[in-house]
Amino acid sequence: MYKRFLVALDFDGFLINSYEVIRAAFTEFGLDIGDEDRFKNRRKFLKYLGGGKELVRNLVYSSLPRKRKLKSVLTEKYLESGRIHGEFVPLINQMIEDPLVHVGVVSRNFTLNPGGTIRSVLAASGIDEAGLDFVIPIPVGSKKDSVLSAMKSSRYRTCVLAADEIGDYQAAEASGYASVIASYGFDRRERLLARGKVPEECIVDSPGEAVVMLRDGAMRRVGPRSLASA
């Protein structure tokens, strides 16, 4: 029996709130990434150097640690305390068991062994990670839409990307995927709408809402257009 529904899940920001994990790692080096709302609305590397309140202190009073040392501590924090939102556990396990659903994780993660870290966090959260069809860490410099396009096949009736940033929505659009975009991740609702032009019907404001949209889409066999309005 062919799997007819492809569901690609983002990890950081969508399945897991990475802020506390990242904050704990940076605190060990005397670095302050600021409060959660401001952290999540910063762009790229400024997330980690801090905003106006933290940037000067971080640069003047602390030296940035060697990249491998920072990655090592970040990996430890993920393994110790990283857990996905509990609402996702039953749904993901249900999709793993469904013979028609091809489900896994496609995500950028900055730990030493991204694939292993992601799988360990999923397993510790109660996910049957060994049953996932794929876990694909996206290397620095690679584009998510290239990975998504390579995964797409005529065998699938529906391809879905569930993620949390403007760039994720753009990657889904470029690859012909339906999208579920979380406003509780690294891009807030206002930014998704105003800067990203993400349709409001594609945005979910909580893990619970994301579960409902994914369940009503992939699990009830509706097409891409129906997914966003389910």
For 133-163, write each residue's pLDDT tens digit.
999 999 878 899 999 999 999 889 889 999 9
For 28-48, write each residue's pLDDT tens digit.
877 777 777 767 665 544 344
For 56-108, write each residue's pLDDT tens digit.
344 334 455 566 688 898 899 999 999 999 999 999 999 999 999 999 999 99
Locate the DSSP E strands across 79-163.
101-107, 134-137, 158-163
5-17+84-229 maps to which CATH number?
A: 3.40.50.1000
The Cα 13–Cα 42 span in angstroms is 14
Q: How many CB atoms lie within 10 A of CB 119?
A: 17
> What sign results for the dihedral spanned by CA atoms 199, 83, 7, 101?
negative
pLDDT of residue 58: 46
pTM over 0.95: no
- Chain region(s) in the chain for CATH 3.40.50.1000: 5-17+84-229
What the block records as the tokens of 92 is 């993901």
First and final C-alpha spacing in the chain: 26
User: By C-alpha distance, which of 212, 204, 10 is closest to 107?
Assistant: 10
